[in-house]
A and B are shown apart, each in its own frame.
Chain A
Amino acid sequence: MAIGGSVLSCFCLFPFSVSRKDKSQSSGRSSSFRLSNSEEVDRISSLPDEVICHILSFIPTKEVVTTSVLSTRWRTLWTSVLALDFEDNWPCFFNTNFASIVGSILDQRRAKSINRLCIHNHNKSFSIELIGTLVSTAVAQNLQELDLFCYYYLEVTLPNILFTCKTISILKLSFGSTINLNGVSSIHLPSLKVLHLYLLYLADDEPVMRFFSGCPILEELCYEEVKSNNSTSFKICMPLLKKLHLKCHDKRVQIVTPSLEYLQVQETKVCDTLVCNLPNLIKTHVDIYFDKCEQEYVSKLFNGIHHTNFLELSTYTTEVLADSSFGFPEFHNLVHLKLCLSTIDYCFLIQLMLTKCPKLQILDIDKVYEESAERKRTLPTTPVPKLS
Chain B
Amino acid sequence: MEEVVARLNITWFIAIAPPALSFSTGLVETVLMRMLLDLSLESRAISFCEEYLKCLYLSCKPKALKNTYNLCLFSMSEVAMAVVKPEMKSYIWLQTVDGSIQQVEEEVAMFCPMICQEVLQTGMGSSKTYAISLPHRVNPAILGLILDYCRFHQVPGHSNKINEYLSVLRLKERKTFDEKFIRMDTKKLCELTSAADSLQLKPLVDLTSRALARIIEGKTPEEIRETFHLPDDLTEEEKLEPLRNITDDPRIRLLNRLYARKRKELKERKKLKDVEIEEEPKDERSLEDLLSFINGADGDMKGTRANKNKKKNRRRKDQAKDLSSKNANENNKVRLLPQHIRLGLNLLPSAFHNVNFDNSLEASASKPSRMQTFPTVNFSPKFEFIDGDVDDDLDPAMKEELDREVEDFARRLNSDWPERMQILSLSQDRRLGLLVVLRYDSGLRAKQAVMPIIERVIYGYRLLIRDSEAVADNSTSKVSGS
Residues of A within 8 A of B (CB): 1-9, 13, 20-25, 27-32, 34-35, 40-48, 51, 54-60, 63, 66-72, 74-76, 93-97, 99-101, 103-105, 107-108, 282-283, 309-310, 333, 335-336, 359, 361-362, 377, 379-381
A102 to chain B, nearest CB (A): 11
Check A59 against B213 for contact (C-beta < 8 Å).
Answer: yes
Check B374 against A93 for contact (C-beta < 8 Å).
Answer: yes
Check A47 against B370 for contact (C-beta < 8 Å).
Answer: no
**Which residues of B from 366 to 387 have beta carbons under 8 Å from A?**
368-374, 376, 381
* CA distance in complex: A94, B185 (Å): 40
* CA distance in complex: A209, B190 (Å): 47
* CA distance in complex: A4, B377 (Å): 10
Asked if A100 meets B162 with Cβ closer than 8 Å, knowing A51-B193, A51-B194, the reply is no
Q: Which residue of A lies closest to B54 (CB)?
A: A381
Interface CB pairs A-B, < 8 A, 22: A1-B243, A5-B220, A7-B376, A9-B218, A27-B185, A27-B215, A31-B186, A44-B230, A45-B230, A51-B193, A71-B232, A72-B233, A76-B243, A100-B314, A104-B369, A282-B165, A283-B168, A309-B165, A310-B165, A335-B162, A361-B66, A379-B62
B228 on the A face (CB < 8 A)? yes
Q: Which residue of A lies closest to B374 (CB)?
A: A93
Check B214 against A24 for contact (C-beta < 8 Å).
Answer: yes
Check B57 against A381 for contact (C-beta < 8 Å).
Answer: yes
**Which residues of B from 204 to 255 have beta carbons under 8 Å from A?**
205, 209-234, 239-243, 246
Check A75 against B243 for contact (C-beta < 8 Å).
Answer: yes
Check B162 against A333 for contact (C-beta < 8 Å).
Answer: yes
**Residues from chain A with Cβ under 8 Å of B222 in the complex:** 5
B322 on the A face (CB < 8 A)? yes
A144 to chain B, nearest CB (A): 15
**Residues from chain A with Cβ under 8 Å of B455 in the complex:** none
Knowing that A13-B218, A47-B193 touch, tell me 8 more A-B residue pairs with CB under 8 angstroms. A1-B372, A1-B373, A43-B186, A44-B190, A58-B210, A60-B217, A72-B234, A75-B234
**Residues from chain B with Cβ under 8 Å of A24 in the complex:** 182-183, 211, 214-215
A349 to chain B, nearest CB (A): 21
Check A377 against B214 for contact (C-beta < 8 Å).
Answer: no
* CA distance in complex: A162, B454 (Å): 52
B197 on the A face (CB < 8 A)? yes
A127 to chain B, nearest CB (A): 13
* Binary contact readout B345-369 vs A (1 if CB under 8 angstroms, 0 otherwise): 0000000000000000100010011
Check A71 against B216 for contact (C-beta < 8 Å).
Answer: no
* Binary contact readout B154-173 vs A (1 if CB under 8 angstroms, 0 otherwise): 00000001101110110000
Top 4 nearest A-B pairs (CB, nearest first) are A5-B220, A58-B213, A43-B190, A31-B185
B405 on the A face (CB < 8 A)? no
Check B214 against A336 for contact (C-beta < 8 Å).
Answer: no
Partner of B318, one of A3, A21, A48, A97: A97
Asked if A282 meets B168 with Cβ closer than 8 Å, knowing A21-B217, A379-B65, the reply is yes
* CA distance in complex: A47, B66 (Å): 41
Interface centre among B53, B218, B223 (most CB of A within 10 A): B218
Partner of B374, one of A2, A31, A97, A282: A2
B191 on the A face (CB < 8 A)? yes
**Residues from chain A with Cβ under 8 Å of B191 in the complex:** 43
Q: Which residue of B lies closest to A333 (CB)?
A: B161
* CA distance in complex: A283, B204 (Å): 27
Check B219 against A25 for contact (C-beta < 8 Å).
Answer: yes
**Which residues of B from 117 to 167 have beta carbons under 8 Å from A?**
137, 161-162, 164-166
Check A70 against B318 for contact (C-beta < 8 Å).
Answer: no
Check B53 against A381 for contact (C-beta < 8 Å).
Answer: yes
Partner of B243, one of A20, A67, A108: A108
* Binary contact readout B40-64 vs A (1 if CB under 8 angstroms, 0 otherwise): 0000000000000100010010100
Q: Which residue of A lies closest to B377 (CB)?
A: A4
Total CB contacts across the A-B interface at under 8 A: 213
**Residues from chain A with Cβ under 8 Å of B365 in the complex:** 103
**Residues from chain A with Cβ under 8 Å of B166 in the complex:** 335
**Residues from chain B with Cβ under 8 Å of A333 in the complex:** 161-162
Partner of A44, one of B169, B219, B220, B228: B228
* CA distance in complex: A21, B218 (Å): 9
* CA distance in complex: A99, B324 (Å): 20
* CA distance in complex: A7, B186 (Å): 25
Check A309 against B161 for contact (C-beta < 8 Å).
Answer: yes
**Residues from chain B with Cβ under 8 Å of A59 in the complex:** 213, 216-217
**Residues from chain A with Cβ under 8 Å of B445 in the complex:** none
Check A104 against B314 for contact (C-beta < 8 Å).
Answer: yes
* CA distance in complex: A107, B210 (Å): 27
* CA distance in complex: A51, B213 (Å): 11
* CA distance in complex: A309, B158 (Å): 15
Partner of A74, one of B65, B164, B230: B230
Check B243 against A107 for contact (C-beta < 8 Å).
Answer: no
Check B215 against A335 for contact (C-beta < 8 Å).
Answer: no
**Residues from chain B with Cβ under 8 Å of A100 in the complex:** 314, 318, 361, 372
Q: Which residue of B lies closest to A9 (CB)?
A: B220
Partner of A46, one of B53, B162, B194, B314: B194
Interface centre among B57, B168, B229, B315 (most CB of A within 10 A): B229
B205 to chain A, nearest CB (A): 7
Check B212 against A55 for contact (C-beta < 8 Å).
Answer: yes
Asked if A23 meets B372 with Cβ closer than 8 Å, knowing A46-B194, A67-B224, A379-B65, the reply is no
B184 on the A face (CB < 8 A)? yes
Check B215 against A25 for contact (C-beta < 8 Å).
Answer: yes
Check A70 against B69 for contact (C-beta < 8 Å).
Answer: no
**Residues from chain A with Cβ under 8 Å of B168 in the complex:** 282-283
**Residues from chain B with Cβ under 8 Å of A34 in the complex:** 185
* CA distance in complex: A98, B395 (Å): 31
**Residues from chain A with Cβ under 8 Å of B224 in the complex:** 67, 70
Asked if A32 meets B227 with Cβ closer than 8 Å, knowing A8-B220, A23-B214, A282-B168, the reply is yes
B411 on the A face (CB < 8 A)? no
Check A3 against B374 for contact (C-beta < 8 Å).
Answer: yes
B187 on the A face (CB < 8 A)? yes
Check A51 against B215 for contact (C-beta < 8 Å).
Answer: no
**Residues from chain A with Cβ under 8 Å of B57 in the complex:** 379-381
Check B186 against A51 for contact (C-beta < 8 Å).
Answer: no
Asked if A27 meets B186 with Cβ closer than 8 Å, knowing A51-B193, A68-B243, A96-B318, the reply is yes
* Binary contact readout B436-450 vs A (1 if CB under 8 angstroms, 0 otherwise): 000000000000000
* CA distance in complex: A59, B217 (Å): 6
Check B376 against A104 for contact (C-beta < 8 Å).
Answer: no
B235 to chain A, nearest CB (A): 10
**Residues from chain B with Cβ under 8 Å of A107 in the complex:** 368-370
Q: Which residue of A lies closest to B73 (CB)?
A: A361
Partner of B209, one of A25, A58, A336: A58
Q: Which residue of B lies closest to A280 (CB)?
A: B161
Check B221 against A69 for contact (C-beta < 8 Å).
Answer: yes
**Residues from chain B with Cβ under 8 Å of A70 in the complex:** 221, 224-225, 230
Partner of A359, one of B162, B217, B361, B381: B162
**Residues from chain B with Cβ under 8 Å of A40 in the complex:** 187, 229
B46 to chain A, nearest CB (A): 14
Partner of A35, one of B164, B187, B220, B223: B187
* CA distance in complex: A105, B242 (Å): 12
